[in-house]
Amino acid sequence: MTEVTQPVADEHEEILDGLRGKPKQISPKFFYDERGSQLFDAICEQPEYYPTRTELGIMEDNLDEMADLIGPDVSLIEYGSGSSTKTRLLLDRLEQQAAYVPVDISREHLVSTAEQLAADYPGIEVLPVCADFTQPFDVPVGSRAAARNVLYFPGSTIGNFAKPAALELMKVMREEAGEDGGLLIGVDLVKPKDILEPAYNDAAGVTADFNLNLLRRLNREHEADFELDSFRHQAVYDEDQDRIEMRLIALDQQTVSIGAETLEFAKDEYIVTEHSHKYRLEQFAEFASKAGFKVREVWTDDEDLFSVQYLEAA
């Protein structure tokens, strides 16, 4: 197994730029240090959090058809691979796969998962890349030539991006896929507020811990002095924008330092830490078309909570 680590942009300045804005915000990519990745895995097991189990169910019911569309001898490139749980379903079905390229920003989690996959699938060359996939990165070429590239982007992570940024990312994916390539992507669907809000406010408080861990990471890695007990988690559904907005709300007026910079928080002022956009099927098809893809197949669950879609180069 060969690991590739790509250089990252100036994260400290990116974080400060977000916190200087109104509203204050931090990119959700900073959730994923090792502890954050572990907490997200725990979120996926919460009873209120429908996306993971629903997506897994869709995949289990349609794996043969998905594998046929992906085809043999591919290089499967997964953006934001995490624990690669859903990927194992694909690896069990794909024929003569040339390589698996997991891409993730959390190096410790990436290496641990990649080593386990390499051991469990000795016939597949595993080429992990530690990188921020929202920035350009080089995809390693395996020892055996692949017939084509197929990108895998599960979990509705595309929903974490504002529509313009999501479109730009999908254009990059289209370029990486090439003329004969494809994209297997999870897309969360618009649904009632009473299903969405509990999914991001689980009763066990795992999502709250996940959200607050972001401040813990800033304290550790960016010389910040956030008091975690002075902030609380909140997730609300914006029906006009069809998106969940996750926040960290200041419980009182306070001053926080990050390195040499000082930030003022008013009582009830919040940091936006994540948006999770939901799509309608026809809306996403139009969106994919703008990025140079066409929708070849869509699979959904019986309640139309979630979709897995296979896109081809238009």
Kindly report, residue by residue over 11-57, the tens digit of the pLDDT: 899 999 999 999 999 999 899 898 998 999 999 999 999 999 999 99
Say which CATH topology domain 50-191+278-313 has.
Rossmann fold (3.40.50)
Average pLDDT of the residues in 168-197: 94
CATH 3.40.50.150: which residues of the chain?
50-191+278-313
For residue 236, the number of C-alpha atoms closer than 13 Å in the C-beta half-sphere is 10
149-186: string of b/e by CB count within 10 Å (b at 16+)?
bbbbbbbbbbbbbeeeebeebbebbbebbeeebbbbbb
Whether the model clears a pTM of 0.85, i.e. scores above it, the answer is yes
Average pLDDT of the residues in 141-166: 91
* For helices 34-43 and 107-120, angle between their N-to-C axes, nearest 10 degrees: 60
Over pLDDT 70: what percentage of the chain? 97
pLDDT at 9: 55
pLDDT at 223: 95
pLDDT at 139: 83
Average pLDDT of the residues in 150-170: 93
Q: Are 103 and 133 in contact (CB under 8 A)?
A: yes
Average pLDDT of the residues in 269-295: 97
Over pLDDT 90: what percentage of the chain? 78
